[in-house]
Amino acid sequence: MSTKVESPIFQTGADIPWESTAPGLQRKIYGYDDRVMLVKVKFEQGAIGTMHQHPHTQVTYVESGAFEFTIGNETRIIRAGDGCYMPSNVMHGCTCLEAGVLIDTFSPHREDFLTQ
């Protein structure tokens, strides 16, 4: 029998600790269940989200800053107010050109984020 995976109904940003994940990168995990997860990621200028792939579908919104994103074979600069979509198992990554924050949504949730 599987255990239900679910965040509290409400999340208060001030109560969620920043977790360092790589040089110049920190994240906060917001709401999730077994089907979806919302994550806020703060980048210092020059920080790199290394190229990777995962089985989760990902949608990212740029809250602030500027980022050079590579998704599959396409590279583009996106800025505050822009977004991007990463299909399941497609290589992707980014470089932060201007310090900023990304809002990532994953489906299903990133179990690996909860077990680290």
Mark the ranges of the chain whose per-residue pLDDT is less than 50. 1
Query: Which pLDDT does position 4 carry in this prediction?
Result: 77
Q: Which helix (H) or strand (E) holds 58?
A: strand 57-71
Listed residue (100, 94, 93) closest to 79, CA to CA: 100
pTM equals 0.93
Query: Which pLDDT does position 115 carry in this prediction?
Result: 81
Query: Which pLDDT does position 116 carry in this prediction?
Result: 61
* Structural domains in the chain, sorted by start: 25-110 (2.60.120.10)
Query: Which pLDDT does position 2 carry in this prediction?
Result: 53
Query: Which pLDDT does position 3 carry in this prediction?
Result: 62
Tokens of 38: 């919302």
Strand-pairing partners, residue 74, are 71
